[in-house]
Structure 1
Amino acid sequence: MSKSLKEIPVIVLCGGLGTRIQAVLKNRPKVLAPIGGSTLLDIIIGMFIKTGFEKIILSVGYLKEHIKEHIEKNNYRVILSEEEEPLGTGGALKKALDYVGDARHFFVMNGDTVYRPNFALLRTFHERRNALMSMALTRRYVGSGGNVVIIDETKRVIGWRLKTEKDQPEELPLNAGTYLFDSAVSKLLPKEQKFSLENDLFPTLWQHNCFGFETDDIFIDIGVPERYKMANEMFENGLIKNYV
């Protein structure tokens, strides 16, 4: 597995403001939220290292000095893509592409999530379909919120919408915030420096070869206090592992 992934860069989007959870984190970026005896960032970096990735790019913005200090303290070998002002998820990705080089593919993951799909299988799925983007989906999610994704019988993404209380995992999977892009996507990015992946780019991509990779891996985002509490409980129960 390691040989098949080490040449693929992975970008972790860590620049969000974390407005809904700041009352709990108290002037910490979301990615430094304590979970167990570590932080979410430790869990994410450890997961990627354990899986075989060698080029990890962190897109940082809000409270980035805290993240830089944490990286230096732990001697993490990562690349930082630094925002001087909030660029949105799309703008952050666009800026981070400066560090991707000539890689044919690159992964992108939201930095406020706990999720570990089979990245090697996701790559195989992506390449067999000659996909522009493959979106990891899960039917095993914790708590409410997020977008359910509509796919057809060939796994092609048709669209998505906000999850409601009536939605059931067996009917519609949830976007797990992890994506594999072909480098050709750079030609479709908006000219603006500030934009949203979800609102400004994805609707355009769905007119191309975009597919949903379905998994049963546990997914949780810690963006609100209730789910953050659940994440810590999952760690205590052994459902979340720290790979560092």
Structure 2
Amino acid sequence: MPVVILCGGEGTRMREMTDRIPKPLVDIGGKPILLHIMEIYSRQGFTNFILCLGYKGILIKESFLDYEVRSRDMVLDFRQGERKFIGSETSAYKDWRITFAETGETTQTGGRVARIAPYVTGDRFMLTYGDGLSDIDLHAALDFHEAHGRVGTVTGVQPSSQFGVMAVEGDRVRAFAEKPRSPDMVNGGFFIFERRFLNYVKPEVNCILEREPLERLSADGQLKVYTHRGYWRCMDTFKDYRELNDGYAAGVTPWLPAVAQQSVAS
């Protein structure tokens, strides 16, 4: 089953970083957030990726093309004109298959999805954004999707408020709560779609996934929500970037498996 990742936005709320690189290449703990996201999928057996490229997409291509050069011992033989890597490949990425799709510099999210339709094989695909981390159980979400039989599943999450709140009665403060979870559900960005969802999106530059396509899918009664009550965090701003990296340095990495979390903490 392909995993489509939207990697083409400009990341305008993170200009401190994205003037130089696309947001999916911004590091969390020394590794691009895109790799963290792909590992969430690959650890659960989903290793066929389609990356929807746009803004500075060439840098995403180069980061994968140069991966072995940066991470492995190598012999460069100028006499023979050969580049040879030493030892066997032990990377977790060795089984990955990645399609790099140029979906337009300024194309909106729905247009990007429409443009990768030729690369979606089979009757179903997963979709996510290039800036969200979670400890989501993808197989549980897939079981939910298969059971309800509709076209789409969106993950619903309840993020913490960025502010503390007060419980007030008249002019009396009854209690304080520091950054409680919002009572409202928001789009957590981990989708599962039947292939026929591609009929809802158009390859036009201004087609926004979260507007007409998902609104129409919802109106047709073809969109269900899988509620995720575990960890979820979106790197939307520079403040989010700092907090994610501070958490990583302190070993607060709920999207990683337990062994990796212990390694970070140590």
Secondary structure at the residue paired with 1:206? helix
Tell me what 2:229 maps to: 216
Q: Once the 2 structures are TM-superposed, how far is the Cα of residue 135 of structure 1 from its aligned partner? A: 0.5
The whole-number CA distance in structure 1 between the counterparts of 2:19 and 2:105 is 21
* Deviation for aligned residue 1:196: 0.2
Find the counterpart in structure 1 of residue 113 from structure 2.
Answer: 93
- Contact 1:22-1:28 within 8 A present in 2 as well: no
Contact 1:31 1:41 survives alignment (8 Å): yes
Structure 2 counterparts to residues 33-52 of structure 1, below 5 A: 33-52=26-45
**Which residue pairs with 2:214 in the alignment?**
202
State the TM-score, normalizing by the size of structure 2.
Answer: 0.73
CA separation of 1:130 and 1:20: change in aligned 2, threshold 3 A: same
Matched AA of 1:175: N
Would the alpha carbon gap of residues 116 and 82 (structure 1) be closer, same or farther in structure 2, given more than 3 Å must change?
farther
Distance 1:129 1:211 in 2: 8
Matched, 1:235 2:228: no
Gaps of 5+ in 2: 69-92, 163-178, 261-266
Q: Distance in 2 between matches of 1:25 and 1:40?
A: 13
Dislocated runs of 4+, deviation >3 Å: 167-170, 190-194, 241-244
Distance 1:39 1:24, change over 3 A: same
Which residue does 1:177 correspond to in 2?
Answer: 189
Q: State the Cα distance separating 1:242 from its structure 2 match.
A: 5.6
Counting matched residue pairs gives 214
Match of 2:51 among 58, 61, 69: 58
Where does residue 126 of structure 1 map in the other structure? 145
Deviations 1:184-212 (A, max 9, x none): 11222246353100122111011122111
TM alignment of 1:3-42, pairs within 5 A: 8-42=1-35
User: 2:18, 2:123 → 1: CA distance?
Assistant: 37
Identity value in percent: 24
Matches within 5 A, 1:71-150: 71-74=64-67, 77-101=97-121, 103-139=122-158, 141=159, 144=162
How far is 1:80 from its partner?
0.7
Q: Deviation at 1:225?
A: 1.0
- Report the Cα distance in structure 1 between the residues aligned to 2:59 and 2:202, rounded to whole angstroms: 30
Q: Which has the higher contact order (CA 8 A, sep 6+)?
A: 1
Q: Which runs of 5+ in 1 are unaligned?
A: 1-7, 145-166
- Measured after TM superposition, the shift of residue 29 of structure 1 is 0.5
Separation (CA, whole Å) in 2 of partners of 1:177 and 1:69: 26
TM-score by length of 1: 0.80
